[in-house]
Chain A
Amino acid sequence: MAGFLQQVVEGLGAGAVYASLALALVLIYQFTGIVNFAQGELAMFSAYVAWQAMAAGLPFWAALALTLAVSFAGGMLIERIVIRLVEGAPELTLVIVTVGLFIFVNAAAGWIWTFLIKDFPNPFPRGALEVGGVSVGFSTLGVLGVVALVMGLLYLLFQHTKIGLGMRAVAANPDSARLVGIRVGRTLALGWGLAATVGAVSGVLVAPLLFLEPNMMGGVLIYAFAAATLGGFDSPAGAVAGGVIVGVAETLAGAYVPAVGSDLKIGVPLAIILGVLLVRPRGLFGRAVVERA
């Protein structure tokens, strides 16, 4: 039993990582209606910014604040420079642009910082909490805590601020939003900036666990997609719950289902995506969308 619980805890740790990136994915989907394939790479780039700041002598928290600010500005800048140019293009064009962005950011990070892994300080204490023969690492708890915090802040922003209201209006119907005087362009840029900031939190949280190098987030992306699909692409709480479920399911399947084993674990997100979409396409927490034909 302790062994099983330990596996669950292991899954929670992995799930927290997926959830953190899924939050950023959900955010940008909600505001701009596009899926940003470069989200993971932007998070990785943010983590490098933090690393660079610390290498220059800043303490961790100062470096974090700086990184969040830089990421926010960077996200807005990308929206202005890259995304706006193809505004109104078909969905597929946007997908390809974010794929181009993915390749670019990944290569740029390797060019600037090389592909050697960097040591990244863990903001949480070493060691683990021992409960009934099961050890829960402090860093796992820490990541889960921060993810929950970010989720809460996003909820407040969406539901209880004017900016959030404007963003929701733009996401729901850009044309109508523009007619009622919302500056759609600025709101979209804000959405990108915000998503990049949430991504930066993810990158900084993940870097000490996965070790910082340019391909750090590549493997996380598909799990984050599965998490967002499971939770519903329009629900931050769903993204977090989805991430945790995906993490636990993947770990348990790898450990206890011999046909899956550690090599075919990657099939778990595939099965989850497919299953959810066929059974309940809006995800666990998503709103059903009624389409006007």
Chain B
Amino acid sequence: MTQVEDAGVDARPERRRPRWTPTGRRRAAVAALLAAALYAPFQLVPFHVFQLTMVLVYAVALLGLNLLVGHAGQISLGHGAFFAVGAYTAAVLTHGPGLPYPLTLPAAAVVAFLLGLAFGVPAVRLRGLYLALVTLAMAIFLVPLLKRFEGVTGGSMGLTLPKPGPPAWSGLAEDQWLYFLALAVAVASFALVGSLLRSRVGRALHALRDDEGAAEVMGVRLPAYKTLAFAWSAMFAGVAGCVYTWVIGFVSPDSFTVNLSITLLAGLVVGGLGSTAGPVLGALFVMFVPSIAQDLNEAAPGVILGLLIIAVMYVAPTGLAGLAGRLIRKIPRKE
């Protein structure tokens, strides 16, 4: 806990105007966040560590979705399918050939990337609503497809897998080790996306989102970037799915219904489209709000969940990230 406060204090003496750049403050915030994230598993009970691990998994999936929806402006109602593909790639490779788990991560990333690429080609020609419908149908179709190839996927019974155990030198418990694996993947993913968005790719995507026509006139090769956005986005969903398989140790087709896709999209929109914090806040929403909903109403948690989603959209049309930004932007004025 002290580490984190230190990070906050360190940032303060630097508050002379010229150094008072967004980047500096942002770095401090990220450092604080990381410190807290590193410290948390030693302080929390395993149950909460598990919850945070799942938050990281969802955050990586939402990060990918954010790339597509938030930055490139394309709707996907089927990202759960790419998540499932990543999860199943990891599961099948562990179950069949017995691949060691670290190797399943690049495998899941590549498979999801290629699949995203394949889907991105026709998706380029679709816009808005239509893309939403195609991706939705894809997510629905995946479930019976997984059941069909029983020999590979274990059919409707699914596959049960061993969870990655902590190496002896680390002295960590299983839940802590899984947490750090997820954290490492999440940090790497966020860093990758960050640098991607700062490159000309990011500028091209934003131009594409804001005005396709203008972007094209400016020389952005629309089809290529749209397809790539789809593929990258699918890749991160697949990576998240792979970590999911490590953490849960069980995959079955009915774990990846269309509800997952819809939950992911809802989580992202609630968290905040196009912002860096959006995926994290969205992941927290996806993870904790269903529990809160059932605490509020035992008889029908869905009633509360539905109302909460609508309420957040009303209170914060730009998502929780936008809301938080609005609230805190007022503080400097008071000072």
Is A100 a contact partner of B303 (Cβ separation < 8 A)? no
User: With an 8 A cutoff between CB atoms, is A35 at the interface?
Assistant: yes
**Known contacts A99-B266, A100-B309: A93-B317 contact under CB 8 Å:** yes
Is B129 a contact partner of A96 (Cβ separation < 8 A)? no
Q: Which of A86, A103, A270, A273 lies in contact with B302, CB distance below 8 A? A: A103
Stretch of B136-144, B179-187, B197-205 lying at the A interface? B136-144
Q: Which of A107, A264, A270, A274 lies in contact with B305, CB distance below 8 A? A: A107
Stretch of A46-54, A180-188, A195-203, A221-229 lying at the B interface? A221-229
A38 and chain B: residue at smallest CB distance: B306
**Known contacts A35-B132, A82-B310, A99-B262: A93-B302 contact under CB 8 Å:** no
Stretch of B3-11, B20-28, B90-98, B120-128 lying at the A interface? B120-128
Q: How far is the CA of A97 from the CA of B313 in the complex (A)?
A: 7
B-side contacts of A100, CB under 8 Å: 266, 306-310, 313
Is B302 a contact partner of A91 (Cβ separation < 8 A)? no
**Known contacts A270-B137, A273-B137: A89-B303 contact under CB 8 Å:** no
User: With an 8 A cutoff between CB atoms, is A141 at the interface?
Assistant: no
User: With an 8 A cutoff between CB atoms, is A42 at the interface?
Assistant: no
User: With an 8 A cutoff between CB atoms, is B270 at the interface?
Assistant: yes
B-side contacts of A85, CB under 8 Å: 314
A108 and chain B: residue at smallest CB distance: B303
A263 and chain B: residue at smallest CB distance: B144
User: With an 8 A cutoff between CB atoms, is B148 at the interface?
Assistant: yes
Number of A-B contacts (CB under 8 A): 124
**Known contacts A93-B317, A97-B313, A263-B147: A108-B300 contact under CB 8 Å:** yes
Q: How far is the CA of A90 from the CA of B313 in the complex (A)?
A: 11
User: With an 8 A cutoff between CB atoms, is A238 at the interface?
Assistant: no
Q: Which of A225, A226, A278 lies in contact with B122, CB distance below 8 A? A: A278
Q: Which of A35, A86, A269 lies in contact with B313, CB distance below 8 A? A: A86
Chain B window 168-208, contacts with chain A (Cβ cutoff 8 Å), 1 for yes, 0 for no:
00000000000000000000000000000000000000000
Q: How far is the CA of A151 from the CA of B137 in the complex (A)?
A: 26
Q: How far is the CA of A233 from the CA of B132 in the complex (A)?
A: 14
A-side contacts of B141, CB under 8 Å: 264, 266-267, 270
Q: How far is the CA of A233 from the CA of B211 in the complex (A)?
A: 24
Chain B window 202-221, contacts with chain A (Cβ cutoff 8 Å), 1 for yes, 0 for no:
00000000011110000000
Is B137 a contact partner of A95 (Cβ separation < 8 A)? no
**Known contacts A107-B301, A107-B305: A93-B137 contact under CB 8 Å:** no
Nearest CB on B from A171, distance (A) = 14
For the complex, would chain B's binding face be called helix, strand, loop or mixed by DSSP majority?
A: helix
**Known contacts A99-B266, A107-B300, A107-B305: A277-B130 contact under CB 8 Å:** yes
A262 and chain B: residue at smallest CB distance: B144
A-side contacts of B270, CB under 8 Å: 96
A292 and chain B: residue at smallest CB distance: B213
User: With an 8 A cutoff between CB atoms, is B59 at the interface?
Assistant: no
B-side contacts of A142, CB under 8 Å: none
**Cβ < 8 Å to A, chain B residues 287-323:** 299-303, 305-310, 313-314, 317
A89 and chain B: residue at smallest CB distance: B317
Nearest CB on B from A26, distance (A) = 12
User: With an 8 A cutoff between CB atoms, is A179 at the interface?
Assistant: no
User: With an 8 A cutoff between CB atoms, is A174 at the interface?
Assistant: no
**Cβ < 8 Å to B, chain A residues 212-235:** 222, 225-226, 229, 233
Nearest CB on A from B56, distance (A) = 23
User: With an 8 A cutoff between CB atoms, is B283 at the interface?
Assistant: no
Q: How far is the CA of A278 from the CA of B131 in the complex (A)?
A: 11
Is A264 a contact partner of B300 (Cβ separation < 8 A)? no
**Known contacts A273-B133, A278-B122: A96-B303 contact under CB 8 Å:** no
B-side contacts of A99, CB under 8 Å: 262, 265-266, 309
Nearest CB on A from B294, distance (A) = 11
18 chain-A/chain-B pairs, Cβ below 8 angstroms: A86-B317, A91-B75, A91-B129, A92-B75, A95-B265, A99-B262, A99-B266, A100-B308, A100-B310, A103-B305, A104-B303, A104-B306, A108-B300, A111-B300, A222-B137, A273-B133, A274-B122, A281-B126
Q: Which residues from chain B sit less than 8 Å from chain A, CB to CB?
A: 69, 75, 122, 125-126, 128-130, 132-134, 136-138, 140-141, 144-145, 147-148, 211-214, 262, 265-266, 269-270, 273, 299-303, 305-310, 313-314, 317
What 7 A-B pairs come out closest when comparing CB atoms?
Answer: A107-B302, A104-B306, A100-B309, A293-B213, A103-B306, A270-B137, A111-B300
14 further A-B pairs in the complex, CB-CB below 8 A; given A93-B317, A107-B300, A270-B138 = A89-B317, A91-B128, A92-B273, A96-B270, A96-B309, A100-B266, A103-B302, A106-B306, A233-B129, A264-B148, A266-B140, A266-B141, A274-B134, A277-B126
Q: Which residues from chain A sit less than 8 Å from chain B, CB to CB?
A: 35, 82, 85-86, 89-93, 95-97, 99-108, 110-111, 222, 225-226, 229, 233, 263-264, 266-267, 269-270, 273-274, 277-278, 281, 293
